Structure 1
Amino acid sequence: MKKKKIPQRMCVGCQEMKSKKEFIRVVKPQEGDITIDPTGKKPGRGAYICPEIDCFKKAYKSKRLDKALKTAVPHQVYQSLEDRLSD
């Protein structure tokens, strides 16, 4: 039997490669607003971040989400991410 391939992604904060399921995905659809994608299946350009506050702080400080999504990320997206991680 073949072993199933596990998709790997890189965190925009700490730059570590991990399994796709370990991350929180932020997605920018072709039309619409940037949102957090809890399922990881919404269409559009995605950026992945570890569910740790340190990774979020690194990504926020250096605007890595903006670079990964190739657009300016609204402050409310950063705020909702921070609220989600501080729980």
Structure 2
Amino acid sequence: MLPCFSKQLFGIDCPGCGLQRSILLLLNGEFIAAFKMYPAIYPLLALGCVILLNKILGLKYATQMIMGLSISSVALILINFFIKLIH
């Protein structure tokens, strides 16, 4: 795993802390643990799939789906980050 330089330098988690571990948990089939580790994992995966499908198939409502998934991903990342700061 790559180390978090933000955590090493400043002693606090960055907004991306937990993403690598969450992906590994997903690959091991631990879906709930992956969500608990990094709640934005599922919107990010859906966003990647929509972007990929749009490139391949040219989806009709891709712009709206990409915007919605992007906003929800950023919101979950920031909420998770602030919760980690509080605790």
Task: From the two aligned structures, give the one with the greater strand fraction.
Answer: 1
Choose between structure 1 and 2: higher helix proportion: 2
**TM-score interval, smaller chain:** under 0.3
Instruction: Give me the TM-score of the superposition, normalised by structure 2.
Output: 0.23
The structure having more radius of gyration, on CA atoms, is: 2
Q: TM-score, normalised by structure 1?
A: 0.23
